[in-house]
């Protein structure tokens, strides 16, 4: 399993819009080959996306 951690800087005052856009993007993210799951966490002015992926077959 591949664990990906992305720290996403969010413009102050745009947190709600960012989370709405991320919610709309979830079906696209989930459709990528190897996708297992992800979780979006809040941390002061950032959002942290933790994604799990299955490695591709060689």
Q: Is the pLDDT of residue 56 over 90?
A: no
| Residue (of 40, 34, 41, 39) closest to 2 by Cα position | 34
Instruction: Tokens 């297992």: give the residue.
Output: 36
Is CATH 3.30.70.100 the right assignment for the domain spanning 2-53? yes
Q: Are strands 35-43 and 46-53 parallel, antiparallel or unpaired?
A: antiparallel
Q: Is the pLDDT of residue 27 over 60?
A: yes
Full-model pTM: 0.73
Percent of the chain with pLDDT over 70: 97
Q: Tell me if 7 sits within 8 A of 48, measured CB to CB.
A: yes
Pairwise CA distance, residues 13 & 20, whole Å: 13
Q: What is the pLDDT of residue 21?
A: 94
The domain locations on the chain are 2-53
**Residue 23, burial from CB neighbour count under 10 angstroms (0-12, 13-18, 19+):** exposed
Percent of the chain with pLDDT over 90: 52
Q: What is the pLDDT of residue 58?
A: 45
């Amino acid at each position: 399993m591949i664990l990906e951690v992305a720290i996403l800087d969010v413009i102050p005052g745009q947190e709600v819009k960012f989370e709405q856009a991320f919610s709309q993007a979830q079906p696209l993210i989930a459709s990528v080959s190897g996708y297992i799951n992800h979780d979006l966490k809040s941390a002061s002015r950032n959002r942290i996306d933790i994604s799990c992926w299955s490695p591709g077959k060689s």
